Amino acid sequence: MNNFRLNMPTEIFFGKDQIEILGKRLVKDNVKSVLLVYGKGSIKRSGLYDRIISQLAENSIKVTELPGIDPNPRITSVAKGAELCRENDVDFIVAAGAGSVIDCSKAIAAARYHNGDPWDFFIRKASVKKALPICAILTLAATGSEMNGGCVLTNEKTQEKLPMGSIRLKPRFSILDPAYTFSVPKEQTAAGIADIASHVFEQYFSYPDAALQDHMSEAVLKTLIENAPIVLKEPENYEARANIMWAGTVALNDLLELGKEGDWATHMIEHELSAKYDITHGVGLAILTPNWMRHVLDADNCYKFAAYGRNVWNTTETDDMSAALQAIEKTADFLKSLGLPQKLSEIGIDDSKFEEMAESALKNTRVGTFKPLSKEDIVKIYRKSL
């Protein structure tokens, strides 16, 4: 295991009606003026918006609103949010929604103190020196953004989608009430589960091995496999929603990657698809993941896929390569069982931009650590996914 440093400053309030702590928790931090960031209306339909507003009013906290954040959030919303923060002396950001809202809020928190284009953070022209504190009120289990320091934004002009991160962007606290995920539509629930599974794979299939982290990864995957069919059939099953929600947070809050060097290739090549075609992140991952697995599997790494097969899927094959192949097919079957598309052609994507997207993925950094991918490798994975 490599050396590591762990810093988890985010306080988590998990469970039914935890929203009730919002006002008091903000007062504890002496908050006077918040920017409330949300999406295109789900928080109004669920009643969450009214509960947030009344908590803020009861505690005499000024509210400025930034509604309408898009899935695959845009850098233009970040510039707008930063301006609102300056104009209204905002001292705290409340992000109420799913990953896109939280990511956009993190970028705003950093952009508030940056005198240039917020995109500078994403092209490594600037680093986050100071940021407004934020809290996340999560409404969809998927990204883990509620407890990590990362965010992914889209630049609609350049058609790029890039990540950036800083410990300064980890939420100060997050409220996770599984009941607020009851209203997530079936396809979005499934896409969230595929995203969570992918986060685990990106860290599990990486070097060096780390026994505890890898077994924890297996536990997160088993939790997803057990609970996914339940939430898809019974969207208001609290216990199953709670298990998926917490799995989503643990899957990307640093714990599973400690002492390891995560792969993240599937994510990087998926971000290209989201940037060019504005598709749902988890849908892109569900299509690419089994094909990434099939492409990278070799005699040296098959022991890892075999361990995954035996510990997660109870495969009984004694030969590692056979167990690995079976594990990959089990993964594909699981993603299929979620009802998600399995081919790019099903979501209207052809091969016309494969070369361009592969080049773009490799533009700023290497792609993959478990098995570094060349441009040709990436194009092959896209082709297998057609």
Among 18, 72, 266, 326, binds ligand NZQ (CB under 6 A): 72
Cα–chain-centroid distance for residue 273? 15
Other C-beta atoms closer than 10 Å to the C-beta of 63 total 15
| 71 contributes a contact to ligand NZQ by CB under 6 A | yes
CA pair distance 152, 282, nearest whole angstrom = 14
Spatial distance between the Cα atoms of 284 and 197, rounded to a whole number of angstroms: 13
Of 288 and 297, which has the nearer Cβ to Zn ion? 288
Residue 168 binds which entry of Zn ion, ligand NZQ, none, CB below 5-8 Å type-dependent: none
CA distance 335 to 122: 31
> Looking at 144-152, 237-245, 303-311, 351-359, which segment touches ligand NZQ (CB under 6 A)?
144-152
Cβ-based neighbours of 48, under 8 Å, separated by 6 or more:
19, 96, 137, 139, 180
Query: Binding to ligand NZQ by residue 325, rule CB under 6 A?
Result: no
- Per rule CB under 6 A, is residue 281 in the interface with ligand NZQ? yes
Angstrom CA distances, 265 to 160, 306, 368, stand at: 16, 20, 4
Considering beta carbons, is residue 262 or 309 the nearer one to ligand NZQ?
A: 262
Query: Would you say 148 or 217 has its CB closer to ligand NZQ?
Result: 148
Place of tokens 């950036």: 164
Q: Which residue lies nearer to ligand NZQ by CB, 152 or 240?
A: 152
Among 195, 263, 320, 377, binds Zn ion (CB under 5 A): 195
Distance CA 183, CA 140 (A): 9
Minimum distance from residue 336 beta carbon to ligand NZQ (Å): 20
Tokens 């940037």 locate to 275
Tokens of 53: 């507003």
Return the sign of the alpha-carbon dihedral for residues 171, 176, 180, 181: positive
Q: Which of 181, 203, 331, 385 binds ligand NZQ (CB under 6 A)?
A: 181
* Size of the residue set binding ligand NZQ (CB under 6 A): 35
Shortest CB 217 distance to Zn ion, Å: 15
Assess 177 for contact with Zn ion (CB under 5 A): no
Question: Where are the alpha helices (H) located in 96-172, listed in sequence order?
Answer: 99-111
Name the amino acid, one letter, at 37: V
Q: How far is the CB of 143 from Zn ion (least distance, A)?
A: 6
Q: Min. distance of Cβ 49 from ligand NZQ in angstroms?
A: 10
- Contacting positions for Zn ion (CB under 5 A): 195
Residues near ligand NZQ, by CB under 6 A: 39-42, 46, 71-72, 97-101, 103, 139-140, 142-145, 148, 150-152, 180-181, 183-184, 188, 192, 195, 252, 267, 274, 281-282
